Homo-oligomer: A and B are copies of this chain.
Amino acid sequence: MDAAIKVFAERGFHTATVAEIAREAGVADGTIYLYFKSKDDLLLRLFDEKMSMLLLEMRAALALVGAASDKLRTFIKLHLSLVERNPDLASVLIVELRQSAQFLKMADRGKLASYVDLIAELVREGQENGELSQSIAPAAVKRAIFGALDELALGWLQSGRRANLKKTATDVSEWLVRGLLSAGGKS
């Protein structure tokens, strides 16, 4: 699966071949087919497994944080840090998610939805306890933050991964959360 991520990231899903993945993994082509029905099956299983992993890691990190506003900052920073630590995986997930309408039809989007829904849950939590202003729908914040993070990650990947993504992540998290704080809210 790691070999597939590397090959998909370098060659693109559509141009990559199972033979290239086998070579990268140091196994025979036939070995791949013992575990995966096809290249499509490999991408779907990869998506499913990695999204489960990301969801677990994000939930674990959020459980360590108290205030909803801090959780939201953590989400933004950890998401971009996951991109920075796994650029090949991010490239496959982001680029394939964008470019392959067919993939989106096949994939179980439930895990991606659960991951992105965390944003709306955190906003709702903060609105209910008074930390965050109620002037905006959690669903709108969710979409906007997801889009913003996706585009920031894409820009970083396309620019050759040179920019300081950690600093950007901190600045963006401060900006986006500051705009949501209620007038009387702390922090």
Q: What is the oligomeric copy number?
A: 2
Query: Contact: A172 with B144, CB < 8 Å?
Result: yes
Q: Using Cβ atoms and an 8 Å threshold, which residues of chain B touch A135? A: 171, 174-175
Complex partner residue of A179 from B98, B150, B175, CB under 8 angstroms: B175
A42 to B105, CA, bound (A): 28
| CB of A99 closer than 8 Å to a CB of B | yes
Query: Contact: B148 with A144, CB < 8 Å?
Result: yes
| CB of A40 closer than 8 Å to a CB of B | no
| CB of A178 closer than 8 Å to a CB of B | yes
Chain B min CB distance to A180 (Å): 6
Complex partner residue of A148 from B98, B145, B171, B177, CB under 8 angstroms: B145
| CB of A129 closer than 8 Å to a CB of B | no
Answer whether A150 and B152 are a contact pair too, CB < 8 Å, given A136-B175, A180-B175, A180-B179.
Answer: no
Query: Contact: A172 with B140, CB < 8 Å?
Result: yes
Question: Which residues of chain A from 163 to 182 have any CB-CB distance to chain B below 8 Å in the complex?
Answer: 168, 171-172, 174-180
Chain B min CB distance to A20 (Å): 19
Question: Which residues of chain A from 65 to 105 have any CB-CB distance to chain B below 8 Å in the complex?
Answer: 98-101
| CB of A57 closer than 8 Å to a CB of B | no
| CB of A155 closer than 8 Å to a CB of B | yes
Among A137, A145, A147, the one with the most B-chain Cβ atoms within 10 Å of its Cβ is A147
Chain B min CB distance to A55 (Å): 19
Answer whether A151 and B147 are a contact pair too, CB < 8 Å, given A171-B135, A174-B135, A179-B175.
Answer: yes
Could you name 5 residue pairs across A and B whose Cβ atoms are closer than 8 Å?
A98-B99, A147-B150, A148-B148, A174-B179, A178-B178
Beyond known contacts A140-B172, A144-B152, A179-B180: 4 more, CB 8 A cutoff: A143-B151, A144-B172, A174-B179, A175-B179
Across the A-B interface, the 5 shortest Cβ-Cβ residue pairs:
A147-B151, A179-B179, A144-B148, A147-B147, A136-B171
